[in-house]
Amino acid sequence: MARIPAVEHSFAAYPLTAGPGPSATETGAVDADVVGAVLRTARAVLAERVAEASETDASFCGDLAGRVADFTLDGGKRMRPRLLWWAMRACGAADAGSTAAALRLGVALELIQSCALIHDDVMDRSRLRRGRPAVHIDLADRAGLAPDSERGSAFGTSAAVLAGDLALVWADDTVAETPLPTPVRRRIRAIWRSMRTEMVAGQYLDLHGQAIGGSSAARAIRTACLKSALYSVERPLAIGAALADADERTTAALRSAGRGAGIAFQLRDDLLGVFGDPARTGKPSGDDIREGKPTYLLAVARERAEAADDQEALAVLGRAVGNADVTEAELADVTEVFEATGARAHVERKAERLGDHAVRRLGEAVDVDAHGGRQLLDLLHTVSGGRSESAAPGEPRGHDDSPAAARVLTTAEGGHAR
């Protein structure tokens, strides 16, 4: 395979302080530019971490710590910090302490996302991330090793595991060092502990499904919930609600809204992985098929083919799924099975219903006509990929009648329905 050129990284290219701009405690200024405020805070936090790393060892700092800082600062939509921020604002918080804490916790979420992405690329053997060499590829190149050689692959993957671990450590340190009132700290630490475990559990279920060659539709939904919905949407919303000291009913409705939007996001992402235009998605179509990803789309197609005793469709899936050398013609046959069994249409409808569920539950939690509620509504539409127009607060827009999805959406911590 052709060697991917290394990309030069230098944390020094980023300002090492919060830089010019409004104070981190000016809530209105953050409202106007959440992403900019998070980035300024991230630069300050990461400058401290890199400085500490430089005192430990210069090579470790230059090769690994600086690379983690670069990766965290470079790219991404900062969706998790935005969800956290607007959940907090929608619940009424606007004081300086909550504002500063929200920005630091947003940085912690970006760091745990860095951990997840770096490890995910190692597990999926992905060579690119955001149009650049993945961290394990880049680290091998920077060490002067060919990433596809035995030594280069072993070094790159091992070093990338350490890079992901470092990002997780920094995330935990950032949460631990964020000043918070004691009751709020307890709530956020409980959310944070659950989120880390859920993220790992979801990744494991995904790997396990690939190893055994598939999973049921119910298990695929559970995987999507753990791997994507909880740590990407529901938990950031819960942290924002905790910062605002929101009551249990409001927090439960926000979490339910986040879970619905997060699962919808994953289902639409699975569709894009098969039917999306690579020029728009930034990744080759069909990779999920080649890797044997146990997606809900695949599970529905299999179950429908089995119910109809469609041996031809099952044979197509059997030949292509998990086959790294699958041809374009075989991929086209798989997409035809997804269409013919009705799996694609079913997943599209389910994603839309889950997005509708998120809108309804948000309306029960906060005033969606207020500034914070409107911003949060727009974000959930973006996450779920739903229609741009929203229903009036409390107006039903359909429901997800899937038993599997219903169980996922109504299972709450402590046994409370939400």
- What does each of the 418 residues of the chain score in pLDDT, given as a tens digit? 343 334 444 554 444 444 433 444 589 999 999 999 999 999 999 999 999 999 999 999 999 999 999 999 998 899 999 999 999 999 999 999 999 999 999 999 999 999 999 999 999 888 888 878 999 999 999 999 999 999 999 999 999 999 999 999 999 999 999 999 999 999 999 999 999 999 999 999 999 998 888 789 999 999 999 988 999 999 999 999 999 999 999 999 999 999 999 999 999 999 999 998 776 766 667 888 998 999 999 999 999 999 999 999 999 999 999 999 999 999 999 999 999 999 999 999 999 999 999 999 999 999 988 999 999 999 999 999 854 333 333 222 333 344 444 444 544 333 332 2
The amino acid present at 114, given as its one-letter code, is: S
By three-state DSSP, how is residue 261 classified? helix
Q: What is the pLDDT of residue 387?
A: 40
Alpha helices in 91-149 (DSSP H): 96-124, 135-142
Question: Roughly how many angstroms between the first and final C-alpha of the chain, as a whole number?
Answer: 51
Beta bridge partners of 132: 129
By three-state DSSP, how is residue 398 classified? coil
Q: What is the pLDDT of residue 3?
A: 39
Beta bridge partners of 128: 133
**What letter does residue 391 receive in the DSSP assignment?**
P
- CA dist., res. 254 & res. 92, Å (int): 14
CB 286 within 8 A of CB 304: no
Burial class (CB in 10 A: 0-12, 13-18, 19+), 144: exposed
CATH number assigned to the domain with residue range 182-413, chosen from the 4 options 3.30.540.10, 3.40.640.10, 1.10.600.10, 3.40.50.1110: 1.10.600.10
Q: What is the pLDDT of residue 389?
A: 32
Q: What is the pLDDT of residue 283?
A: 67
The amino acid present at 159, given as its one-letter code, is: A
How does 313-323 read in b/e, with b if 16+ C-beta sit within 10 Å?
bbebbeebbbe
Supply angle C-alpha 306, 308, 309, rounded to 5: 60
Q: What is the pLDDT of residue 121?
A: 93
Burial class (CB in 10 A: 0-12, 13-18, 19+), 364: middle
Q: What is the pLDDT of residue 411?
A: 45
> Residues, the chain, total?
418
CB 296 within 8 A of CB 267: yes
Please give the distance of CA 38 from its chain centroid, rounded to a whole number. Answer: 17
Does an H or E element contain 14, and which? none
Domain boundaries, the chain: 9-179, 182-413
Q: How many CA atoms lie within 13 A of 366 on its CB side?
A: 31
Four-point Cα dihedral 149, 154, 156, 159, nearest 10: -160
Q: What is the pLDDT of residue 403?
A: 47
Q: What is the pLDDT of residue 281?
A: 65
CATH number assigned to the domain with residue range 9-179, chosen from the 4 options 3.30.1380.20, 1.10.1060.10, 1.10.600.10, 3.30.70.2860: 1.10.600.10
The amino acid present at 366, given as its one-letter code, is: V
Q: How many CA atoms lie within 13 A of 159 on its CB side?
A: 27
- CA dist., res. 207 & res. 151, Å (int): 24
Stated pTM of the model:
0.86
Q: What is the pLDDT of residue 214?
A: 74
The set of residues, in sequence order, having a beta carbon less than 8 Å from that of 377 and lying 6+ positions away, is: 359, 362, 368, 390
Going through 310-415 in order, the beta strands assigned E by DSSP cover none
Angle, helix 328-340 to helix 343-365, in steps of 10 degrees: 60
